[in-house]
Chain A
Amino acid sequence: MKFTDRFKKQIHDREEMHKLNKAGRNGAKNEFNQTVQGNSLSKDAWRRLRKNKAAVVGMCVVILYAIISLCAGILPIYSYEEIIIDHQYLPPSLTKTAGELMLKRQLSEMYATSWRQGRLSVTEEEDAMLNNWITLDDTNKVWNWCYEEGEKQRAAGTYVFSASEQKKYDRLQDSIKNDIQVTINSVRWVNPENGKSYKLDNLDYDTLVSIYAKALGGIDEQKVRTSLETGVNSQIQTEVKTKNSESELTAEDIQSLVAMEKDSLGEDGVQAKEKSLAVDNINVLIQNAMTKQIKQEIKAGTNKEFPYKDTETLFDDINFKVEASLKNSRRYILGTDNLGRDLLSRIIYGGRISILIGIVGTITSLFIGIIMGSLAGYFGGRVDYYIMRFVDVLYGLPYMLLVIICMAIFGTNILNLFFALAMVSWLTIARMVRGQIMSLKNQEYIEAARSMGAGGWRIIFRHLVPNSLSVIIVYSTLRVPEFIMQESFLSFLGLGVQAPLASWGSLIGDSTQGMTKYPWRLVYPAIVMTLFLFSMNFFGDGLRDAFDPQSKNML
């Protein structure tokens, strides 16, 4: 009762304040009876930040990155995990489609082979030049030169395809024209009884089994059940095998391990696995069926406009969205990687993860670091001693080793990565904050606060931390890039994000194989990452100046 009263009073007061603020009381009148509007610290900081060009540009870039990563799902880009083996290592191109690039590659290869076989007429000098390039391991140049020369000669009629070459060429042309990529989305099952639709994942086991049986052509449900069981069994078996790859296991051992694993999963766990297996299989079935269907339609001569989007129904009551596009008419403006995945979308999705790691890591390490550092700095004495010795001990352990051990023990997934990075990265912040606070705590205004009865927390979080803020902000904006780098390093070691997920670091790490042959795989992620790190630094510097009300670059 008392509490609610007080609460009501507070709300009432707030409203009064608000009214008065609006009436301009808060921005009190000066001697000329003009209203002087007050600046809050943040407003003031914003005003100063705007004056700093580099910081504003940096901020804009950072915001742009943030928006792009947030909207990655709705941007018109290809999937970042869709593997198209035919599209391996396509170079970046703004104008050419994947098909044209593939054709060019095929032709270059053919011309280069025929040069070796002596069917492409070249002068002796040119021959020497090509051989020289080969000794320099510059295959790209050889291929380019051969392609241009071969095209020239073919156009002039001095070079004719051999029969096998002609066959290859025709086949490629055909597949460029007709190959389609079918993607299936939002698969839902409509209950024929009441017309409600369900996501496959949310269905119960029995319904799923009957759907699966129907999709397989109406086979016996019992068969489906056994096949799912064996499927899951073999899944668990491979898991067990990879887990214990060092120790040599007999078939019996494996059997018992599998049984143990199943026991630990419990009946529900096993059933969940069976369900997800069934869902995956149904999706594959649908995709295959649709691909077949569309191909037949093309053969039959129906004119379909690509890219083609539609909602379809298969197996009586499964609804889904189909997207079919001519696979080879795709354009990869930043090229593709070793599995034919679009580099642009991988960079965007990778940025999402990298930035997230940078920000979350910084925030957690700031949180821990500020609390530990200010406790040590403010209370001093024994508290300080123990906290700082703890920090020293952690410092003494090799940082990366600690992270790696962490990741190895708890498994490699993103959450553990955050956890592991944050656990050891607060040390420097704690030390820095401690130093700042030790130097500030003997200031007279802290004494003043104490003489007014302010408690430890108030002094730390109202006076000491805000006054160390400029250092903390700069440090933490520098910290974001550092986290991104560390994540890259871990990804490089295979302990960071796991494929098919990507991060800038893992993209760069993966690109080191074949760096000279496929330089775009390294260059674009590197440029994108560098730009971000740069902007972050400029922005951080700007923030530091902005948050310091005494900074001189006010006007």
Chain B
Amino acid sequence: MSESVKKPILEVKDLKVHFPIKSSGGLRKKDAVIRAVDGISFDVYPGETLGIVGESGCGKSTTVRAIAQLTKPTSGQVIFQGKDLCKVSKHELLMARQNIQMIFQDPYASLDPRMTVRSIIAEPLIIYNKRHLLPKELSPLEIETRVEDLMERVGLNKAFKNRYPHEFSGGQRQRIGIARALALNPEVILADEPVSALDVSIQAQILNLLRELQKELGLTFLFIAHDLAVIQYISDKVCVMYLGKIVETSESVELYSNPVHPYTKALLSAAPIPDPEVERKRRRIILTGDVPSPDKEHVGCYFYDRCPNKMDKCKNHIPPMFTVGPHHNCACWQLEEKFPLAESEK
């Protein structure tokens, strides 16, 4: 299949999520907003894994929640199966959600402590069954069988199905969460840091499980992490986010071998390398300053305050995405001379 024929399954176009914050004190102060996500665009292709990295608070979770329509985006489009999810009716949204399921970050908080594993996994089935949205109506018996199959699929003993979540370890709970996400046979799974709350050894197990499931069921993942190693392991393409903006997107291999944006470089240099020789020799890029608060409007590069090689232009002009290579784009003014924009993109 040639690249040009492949159509994205999920398109995000100029997505913005701004949270209004009520200003206290001060009369007639303009209501400020937190620009948690400030105009990002990307495409996800079927069967692929798109990773999103970025430091804490850069808006990764908000992006995912906006895609799943758990938070209403301020503007922008989320196009799934040709429909803009921000504008569809309730019914259509339900239909779409059947194909977009989520795995959550915290395996402790994301399972209702008062439900047994069985009812947790069966819940999406029951909801969709009741609304007659499933392709085929399920009997209680079929639901039961499906739950057991799912449990076995994610590596849980089905004998545990009557237990409560608190009787499981973190890894097991995350498996329950995965089984729940798989219950409706979705096409896309939005995984919001599914492993960051887990132990390293368990992380590997869960990642392997996700990869297996992807291969078997042809799933598409939108995978969020702040751990570069995890992203490298699981994703085909990577977006690097900074302060609600995407600064660099690339294929995974390319990004790790050839980072372009100074922020990506800093991130990569900060990650420890498990080879003491290399680790000792390499030079780290230390970022100075804190992540600026996302509540002010930017006129220049979002990374300006902390960039080690900033220029005058960066201060007042937001950099566009420069094409560095095939599937490799980066937003940094330094690339302007080497990779000038095509006339049409200006």
Q: Which residues of A contact B (CB under 8 A)?
A: 9-10, 13-14, 16-17, 20, 26-31, 36-41, 443-445, 447-454, 458, 462-463, 466-467, 469, 549-550
Contact = CB atoms under 8 A, between A and B. Distances in A.
A466 B114 CA distance: 7
B97 A452 contact: yes
B298 interface: no
Contacts of B102: 448, 451
B127 A453 contact: yes
Given A13-B141, A444-B110, A445-B109, A454 B123 contact: yes
A549 B123 contact: no
29 contacts: A10-B139, A13-B139, A13-B141, A29-B159, A30-B157, A37-B162, A38-B161, A38-B163, A444-B105, A444-B106, A448-B102, A448-B104, A449-B112, A451-B68, A452-B97, A452-B101, A452-B124, A452-B180, A452-B184, A453-B94, A453-B128, A453-B131, A463-B112, A463-B114, A467-B112, A467-B114, A469-B114, A549-B113, A550-B166
A462 B122 CA distance: 13
Given A13-B139, A454-B123, A445 B110 contact: yes
A467 B105 CA distance: 21
B104 A444 contact: yes
B42 interface: no
A445 B158 contact: no
B55 interface: no
A2 to B, nearest CB: 12
Contacts of B160: 36
A43 to B, nearest CB: 10
Interface residues of B, number: 41
A443 B108 CA distance: 10
A96 to B, nearest CB: 58
A35 B194 CA distance: 32
A448 B110 contact: yes
A30 B110 contact: no
Contact of A549 (B97, B114, B140): B114
Interface of B: 65, 68, 70, 94, 97-98, 101-102, 104-106, 109-114, 116, 118, 123-124, 127-128, 131, 139-141, 144, 148, 157-164, 166, 177, 180, 184
B141 A550 contact: no
A171 B167 CA distance: 79
A485 to B, nearest CB: 32
A311 to B, nearest CB: 58
Nearest to A465: B114
Contacts of A448: 102, 104, 110-111, 177, 180
Contacts of A13: 139-141
A371 B23 CA distance: 33
A452 B93 CA distance: 11
A459 to B, nearest CB: 10
A447 B70 CA distance: 7
> Which 9 pairs from chain A and chain B are nearest by CB?
A38-B162, A30-B159, A444-B110, A452-B124, A444-B109, A13-B139, A36-B159, A445-B112, A28-B159
Contacts of B144: 17, 20, 26
Contacts of B105: 444
B140 A17 contact: yes
Q: Could you say which of A14, A37, A449, A454 has the most chain B C-beta atoms within 10 Å of its C-beta?
A: A449
